[in-house]
Amino acid sequence: MQLPKHPNLSRTSTSRKPHHESPALHHDNYPLQLTMPWGLWSDAPSQSPNGTGSSDSTSPAPPSSSIPPSAYTAPAPLSSSSSPLIPPPPTLLSNKKDKPVSWNDSLNATDWAHYAEPRNWIPTAIAVVAALGLHQFYRSYLRRLPGTGHVSPGYFRKRSLLGKVTSVGDGDNFHLFHTPGGRLAGWGWLRKVPAGKKEVRGRTIPIRLAGIDAPEGAHFGRTAQPFSGEALSFLQSFISGRRVRAYIYKRDQYDRIVATVFVRKPPFFWPRKDVGLEMIRRGLATTYEAKSGAEFGSKRAEEMYRHAEEESRRKGRGMWSLERGGWFGKAKGTVESPREYKTRVKLEERAAGEKK
């Protein structure tokens, strides 16, 4: 026995899709029952113009393929009482196109009121300022300078160099391995200072002691001055292998950094001692004599150096002992200062060159 077909399902039963499938694109010429999973809502009886329901309950509907697209109509919405188990259909997307946004409107699209609150931008500003401050602090105080070429002219008279003396070449100059930050930055216990000559080659800064001139040694075939060896020995024992602080002033003609150097001596390490001043007090150096280019760091330092030289000369210390009379009427000698020595040697070499 063949069961009669349901009149309201006659047009949708052949084209209904499973409930789990995605809906197809909407088209105005096709019924929602054929493309949407919620086609079951069309089961409600359509109302006639006179308000009565459709009486076509016995005649079967023609196949869906023979019905023209224009014959389909959108299903009428169901009331809450007609089918309580079927959820309402989802909201259909609007066919209206989005209104285009002009270029000027897009520029003003940012909600700047968000940045008016201090709590939103103050943490960022603090972080940026702190990062810039740390970078500047590192460049000024923690960045190691491996040579004279890395010492900027802006450092002169504004910065000091803390480092370890690796070698002493003469009575008034030495080489410094820059250790910025000292022990607080880990030098000596976390970061080691190279000890060998090969390891420090090209990694040190030559320092010329400011305001003094020590006796010249035997260089380039020249004879050494008296007390040049004593001056070299004292400087080596006084600062070699020790940490010193150099207050830099300028770069000389030999690409050395002219500086006043201080060292702390055990056991108390205080007060610190001016290396150049200590050499003058012992008669192992004179104040720097030049018509131009003399550098003491300050007028007070120059006066202190000259006063120490006068006292050392009066007491006959070091090289000034040659000016004092000896026992049994020994004649009083004269002392040739390092400046006088260099001037005399240059004249002799120039005269020898002219004869050739």
CA 307/CA 327 separation, integer angstroms: 28
Q: Which amino acid is present at 68?
A: P
Q: Which residues of 264-319 form beta strands (DSSP E)?
A: 273-274, 286-287
DSSP 318: G
Which of the following is catalytic: 256, 281, 282, 313? Answer: 256
Nearest to 282 by CA among 247, 339, 321, 243: 321
289 is catalytic: no
CA 34/CA 12 separation, integer angstroms: 6
256 is catalytic: yes
Which of the following is catalytic: 11, 216, 309, 313? Answer: 216
> Which residues are bridge partners to 262 per DSSP?
245, 274
CA 216/CA 232 separation, integer angstroms: 10
Taking a C-beta distance cutoff of 8 angstroms, is the pair 170, 215 a contact? no
Q: Which amino acid is present at 207?
A: I
CA 210/CA 246 separation, integer angstroms: 10
CA 181/CA 179 separation, integer angstroms: 6
CA 204/CA 177 separation, integer angstroms: 5
Taking a C-beta distance cutoff of 8 angstroms, is the pair 157, 251 a contact? no
CA 273/CA 324 separation, integer angstroms: 29
Taking a C-beta distance cutoff of 8 angstroms, is the pair 194, 320 a contact? no
Q: Which amino acid is present at 10?
A: S
DSSP 140: I
Which of the following is catalytic: 11, 208, 281, 313? Answer: 208
Q: Which amino acid is present at 146?
A: P
Query: In this structure, how many other beta carbons lie within 10 angstroms of the beta carbon of residue 145?
Result: 20
CA 232/CA 342 separation, integer angstroms: 18
> Any idea which residues carry the catalytic annotation?
208, 216, 256
